Amino acid sequence: MSRRGSWRWLACLALLAGCDGQDADRLAKIGRKAADKLQAQTGGDPGRGADSLQSIRGGLGEFALDAKVSARLRWDKELDGIPIQVGAVGAGVVKLSGKVPTFEARQRAVQLANSTTGVSKVIDELTEANSR
C-alpha cells in the first residue's frame, strides 16, 4: 500500500470513528511525523526498522512466556499461596526459584512449567522447606 493510500485509509477510519475533518488532518500529520522520525532513525533502510521491531517482539515473547508460567503456578490449587519466582532465561527456557513446602509441590511446579506452551526447558532452582 502506498503512503498516500495509507493516509486515506487512516482518514476514513478516523471519520468512521466520529472524528471531523480537522481531527483527520491532525491524525494524518501525526502519522507523517512518526513515519519521518522512523525513516530518520533507520537511515531510510526499511530492513533496519524491521530488525528493531523483531528484537522488541523477541523480548515480549520471553516476557509472555514468563507470565504464562507464573499465571499457571499462581492459579493451581496445589500450589496456592506458594511464592514461586519465574524468570525467562532464553528462548523457551524458564527458571523456577523459591521455597516450596514439599517435594510434591516442587514436582507439580516443574510439571506445570514444562507443560506450558512455548516452554522447551525448565531450570529447577526450587528448594524444599524440609531439606537442609
Question: What are the grid coordinates assigned to 76, written together?
Answer: 493451581
Q: Please, which residues bridge with residue 99 across strands?
A: 127
Strand order of the β-sheet with 84-90 is 84-90, 93-100, 121-128
Predicted confidence at residue 44, as pLDDT, reads 60
Domain boundaries, the chain: 3-44, 57-128
- What ranges in 3-83 are assigned the alpha helix state H? 3-16, 21-42, 46-75
pLDDT over 60 (residue 47): no
60-115 pLDDT per residue, tens: 455 578 888 988 898 889 998 899 999 988 888 999 999 999 999 999 999 999 99
pLDDT of residue 127: 92
**In this structure, which topology does domain 57-128 adopt according to CATH?**
Histidine-containing Protein; Chain: A; (3.30.1340)
- Which residue carries 517435594 as its cell? 103
| Mean pLDDT confidence for 11-22 | 55
Q: What is the pLDDT of residue 5?
A: 56
**pTM listed for this prediction:** 0.53
Contact 117, 68 (CB under 8 A): yes
